[in-house]
Structure 1
Amino acid sequence: MGWGLRRFSLTKAVPLAISRGTTSAVQRLELSISRDGITGRGETGGFETGHRGYSTDAVEIELQTLLPRLEGLDPSVPQGFDPLLADLTPPARCALDLALWDWRGRRLQAPVWQLWGLDGARSVATSVTLGLAAVEQVLQRLQRWRELMPVTRVKLKLGSPDGLEHDRALLSAVADAMAGDDRRPAAELQVDANGGWTLDQARRMLPLLQERSVVLLEQPLAPHLDPERDSAGFAALHPECPMSLVADESCWGLEDLLRLAPHVDGVNLKLLKSGGLSQAWLMARVAQQLGLDLMVGCYSDSRLLNGAAAQLLPLIRWPDLDSHLNLIDDPFDGLPLEGDRLMPSRYPGLGIERREAS
């Protein structure tokens, strides 16, 4: 089996600011595996959630160490890779897991969602993200999204370092701008604080969130490495929260999903956190059994990683895969967009190609 690892850059058209900082560009890694004339690809890179983080440099070193160990393995027998995958950090595991799924789907001439028995035509509108900024800048960003595509779902980042007054001003301005009129129906408003509030601040924000018809509150409280302390925050807020409460930074794998399930209404699946599609697929099916709703989200991801996440769209209530729509140098093609509804590709594997090979 052959393999390759290359680094590439992604640059945002509009920098994204959240409670933990601002991102304008990132470095990413593409892992490729080849056998029998078929190549599968996976994307990864560094990221942080406030309590855990990985650098792209460290992930690259980890993958370079891994690659020689792939010698002699057959990607058509995924069980043979399990010992290698188990030893990897989530972002390194993500790269290999995605490459294996892509290879397998291409070998079988079917998209991954079809291998899982899902309905590839079943998906709903993705949210588009408004980062933290001055009120006028955030409204300009909303208008820029509206010039690009229909906007029926908006995710507003709050948890501003400038405090709750700025959060309140942003929320009110965006809610007013999204109000329906004769030309455009009202859009759905979601709020993501990225762990930027204390429990007291979250409680103080709830009345305004309800008044402005916010349908979803994502990760209002800072995540904690101590799982009991982390769960306790959601447990305290959940009974008082009038909208859906969703865990993101607090939920990495199946163990987190199980401990948070009694205290949230949904979880955000991100492939860099889960370590790829295999674990995210398992989490999605377990969440369904537990009655939890699902979001699938992204970091500063290209079409390759978002195309992988899109394989889950038939199961997702709240898609949040807009990062590739804000890139000026995405090296990949694919991921169909119908209005503001992303569709998983109907091409084999992940259905994503390098631009030069398209």
Structure 2
Amino acid sequence: MNRRNFFKTSLFSTLGIATSGFSALAIPGSWHKASSSRLSLEFAPYPLKLKHAFNLARSSRTTTPDVLVRLHYDGITGYGEASMPPYLGESVESACKFLSKLCLEQFTDPFRIEEILDYVDTVDSGNPAAKASVDIALHDLLGKIMQQPWYKIWGLNPDKAPHTSFTIGIDTPRIIRQKVDEASQYKILKIKMGLGNDQSLVKIIREKTNVPICVDANQGWVNKEKALEMCHWLAEQGCMFVEQPFDKTMIDETAWLSERSPLPIIADEFIQRLPDVSKAYQVYNGINIKLMKSTGMHEAYKMAILAHSLGMKVMIGCMTETSCAISAASQLSPMAHWADLDGNLLISNDPFNGAVVTDGRVIPTSEPGIGLTAFNNAYNIFSEKS
């Protein structure tokens, strides 16, 4: 079933809000300038530099590939991005190749989001982050046309945005302590686990702070009985939930743990797009929605609606991203029980200003679109490629 038919047959397809559109074929180094009644697409690679090495149970890196996107229509510009951690299978090359295939000038009404995104989705399979970059820029553009931020268009209350966690990756005791000090303004810490020294990580953090924690095992646990013991121990340490304890293929073990754990078990790698929400039901207690996997804000909104209807917890997460994608995700955060929107704080070369941390919460700004209040060298990133 293709994306359009799935939405038509879904109970919640009518809950999607019409958003913006875009057009224009573009390739790196040759930016197309369309007439005022059509949209033009630009994109440029922009590697993200991490402040600290990002260590997970199965990988480590100091940079994250990223592609920035701009959509122009009638003098208005919308921004988007594709962040592509290598383990997800996308790259700068694959994203640019996909974006160069788009012939969006066939769409003249920027409000026909279902029609436009259906086209984008069927141009090629996969490429969720590349598709998300267009979706985010599309929302930013249309929000600016309507002169409203998306939380208002969706009817959401920003005061209900949950506290966001700050991620503490697997590292040496000295670096972990340093990261805890850097996270002093946050009310929740997220700990990466899965290498066998999980309890020692928690003990180091507990030497520094008693703030609540959450745990992401990144598919690093393998034994369900030991995982259950760990969940009970973590509950005693002030843990709120455990994210993706087992490999995403270990469905029976995950369901077994979810039934017995004193902590909610949240799906991450298991969850990509809207159809996966139903698959996670009765296997996980909740889902982590990430724009780079959901293909953007439009489908992420529908995923949150469906998860709520099934009685599942909702978390809004992120990759290592600039303030562009973080600001986009912040528009959805009032729909979530938890948020993990610190990706922009983990990099040293963020070209944007957008949603900010206020009393431990990532609050969307009142600026129209996705809420980018300013950008520093973002324009030069594109002009240097022209």
TM-score by length of 2: 0.82
Equivalence for 1:329: 349
User: Partner letter of residue 33 of structure 1?
Assistant: L
- Could you tell me which of 132, 138, 153 is aligned with 2:188? 153
Q: How does 1:133-282 map to 2 (within 5 A)?
A: 133-146=171-184, 150-160=185-195, 163=196, 166-179=197-210, 187-200=211-224, 201-224=226-249, 230-282=250-302
- Could you tell me which of 41, 61, 64 is aligned with 2:97? 61
User: Partner letter of residue 246 of structure 1?
Assistant: I
- Alignment check: 8 A CA contact 2:215 2:243 kept: yes
Unaligned 5+ segments in structure 2 are: 1-38, 380-386
Equivalence for 1:96: 134
C-alpha distance in 1, partners of 2:208/2:371?
Answer: 36
Q: Deviations over 1:71-126 (max 9, x none)?
A: 23132332331332222421121111111111110000001111111112321221
Q: Deviations over 1:304-324 (max 9, x none)?
A: 011111110111111101111
C-alpha distance in 2, partners of 1:134/1:30?
Answer: 33
Q: Secondary structure at the match of 1:263?
A: coil
User: Partner letter of residue 104 of structure 2?
Assistant: L
- Could you tell me which of 69, 72, 86 is aligned with 2:106? 72
Greater shift, 215-224 or 19-28, is seen at 19-28
User: Partner letter of residue 236 of structure 2?
Assistant: E
Question: How many residues are paired up?
Answer: 335
Residue 139 of structure 1: how far off its partner (Å) = 2.0
Equivalence for 2:78: 40
User: Partner letter of residue 220 of structure 1?
Assistant: P
Instruction: Specify whether residues 261 and 23 from structure 1 end up closer, same or farther in structure 2 by C-alpha distance, changes over 3 A only.
Output: same
C-alpha distance in 1, partners of 2:117/2:293?
Answer: 18
Instruction: Specify whether residues 336 and 151 from structure 1 end up closer, same or farther in structure 2 by C-alpha distance, changes over 3 A only.
Output: closer
C-alpha distance in 1, partners of 2:275/2:112?
Answer: 26
- Alignment check: 8 A CA contact 2:66 2:92 kept: yes
- Alignment check: 8 A CA contact 1:155 1:191 kept: yes
C-alpha distance in 1, partners of 2:169/2:147?
Answer: 39
C-alpha distance in 2, partners of 1:36/1:137?
Answer: 48
C-alpha distance in 1, partners of 2:117/2:137?
Answer: 14
Q: Does 1:350 align with 2:370?
A: yes
Runs of 4+ in structure 1 over 4 Å off: none
- Alignment check: 8 A CA contact 1:246 1:265 kept: yes
Q: Over the residues paired in the alignment, what is the CA RMSD in angstroms?
A: 1.8
- Alignment check: 8 A CA contact 2:286 2:314 kept: yes
Greater shift, 311-320 or 12-21, is seen at 12-21
Instruction: Specify whether residues 357 and 205 from structure 1 end up closer, same or farther in structure 2 by C-alpha distance, changes over 3 A only.
Output: closer
Q: Secondary structure at the match of 2:64?
A: strand
User: Partner letter of residue 354 of structure 1?
Assistant: F
- Alignment check: 8 A CA contact 1:120 1:346 kept: no
Residue 176 of structure 1: how far off its partner (Å) = 3.9
Q: Secondary structure at the match of 1:121?
A: helix
- Alignment check: 8 A CA contact 2:351 2:378 kept: no
Equivalence for 1:283: 303
Equivalence for 1:183: none
Residue 357 of structure 1: how far off its partner (Å) = 7.5
Residue 195 of structure 1: how far off its partner (Å) = 0.6
Q: Deviations over 1:118-167 (max 9, x none)?
A: 11232122101110012332122112222xxx22101111101xx2xx21
Q: Secondary structure at the match of 2:345?
A: helix
- Alignment check: 8 A CA contact 2:45 2:92 kept: no
C-alpha distance in 2, partners of 1:100/1:259?
Answer: 29
- Alignment check: 8 A CA contact 1:104 1:349 kept: yes
- Alignment check: 8 A CA contact 1:44 1:91 kept: yes
User: Partner letter of residue 344 of structure 1?
Assistant: P
Q: How does 1:100-119 map to 2 (within 5 A)?
A: 100-119=138-157
Greater shift, 15-24 or 124-133, is seen at 15-24
Q: How does 1:298-309 map to 2 (within 5 A)?
A: 298-309=318-329
- Alignment check: 8 A CA contact 1:231 1:260 kept: no
Instruction: Specify whether residues 140 and 82 from structure 1 end up closer, same or farther in structure 2 by C-alpha distance, changes over 3 A only.
Output: closer
Residue 204 of structure 1: how far off its partner (Å) = 4.1
C-alpha distance in 2, partners of 1:19/1:292?
Answer: 26
C-alpha distance in 2, partners of 1:47/1:70?
Answer: 27
- Alignment check: 8 A CA contact 2:117 2:135 kept: no
Q: Does 1:85 align with 2:112?
A: no
Residue 356 of structure 1: how far off its partner (Å) = 4.4
Q: Secondary structure at the match of 2:80?
A: strand
C-alpha distance in 2, partners of 1:4/1:57?
Answer: 15
- Sequence identity of aligned pairs in percent? 29
